[in-house]
Structure 1
């Protein structure tokens, strides 16, 4: 799983010259990266980019798809996670994260 995510992040469109970090948080995965644009951190420090939330089989809202995930972006102003895509296969979420046309993840 981690290798798959690392490989996808290497192919992203934005800020390909930095190396994001992937952190496990229980069943979930948090992605951090240096702030290249300096829009969030003027010093270019590590910022939260995305949170992949595992929708495990014990999720009563989605009993038919235990292998689905949700993808959250970080609202850096309010210090909260915002769900962008819910209950999707991992491949769909990785495509959205790596393309990021609206700059929801890579500010």
Structure 2
């Protein structure tokens, strides 16, 4: 097996969610650009992680309740990470982007240039 194939096999053997990556996401969120004064939660979900945060803008929940910010899903077959944002009006997750590395997905979430995550 060549190195690229061996890497994909090794990555796919790591189960998601796991506590190590959950903590990595949690720590990385401290460098986000928007709503830095709230403390988001990172919860394990099947094959990934759900990021929730108190709604401080009042745009989604006027009472400031916990809202869905992002869903990070690991695809073991392709060894990629898929990032989703929530369409709160419809209550549905929408695909945003795909990444080869978890840190790239987190960077996209932290930057949020289109303001689709931290509303």
TM bucket, shorter chain: 0.7 to 0.9
Runs of 4+ displaced beyond 2 Å: none
Measured on the aligned residues, the alpha-carbon RMSD in Å equals 1.0
Q: Alignment partner for residue 101 of structure 2, among 84, 89, 92?
A: 89
Q: Does residue 65 of structure 2 align to residue 53 of structure 1?
A: no
Q: Does residue 20 of structure 2 align to residue 3 of structure 1?
A: no
Q: Does residue 84 of structure 2 align to residue 72 of structure 1?
A: yes
Cα offsets for 1:16-62 (capped at 9, x unmatched): 111101111122100000011100000110000000011113xxxx3
Q: Answer 1 or 2: which has greater strand percent.
A: 1
Count residues with an aligned counterpart. Answer: 99
Q: Answer 1 or 2: which has greater helix percent.
A: 2
What SS does the aligned partner of 2:108 have?
Answer: helix
- The structure whose Rg is larger is 2
What displacement does 1:86 show? Answer: 2.0
Cα offsets for 1:73-94 (capped at 9, x unmatched): 0000000000100243212111
Structure 1 spans left out of the alignment, 5+ residues: none
What displacement does 1:3 show? Answer: 1.7
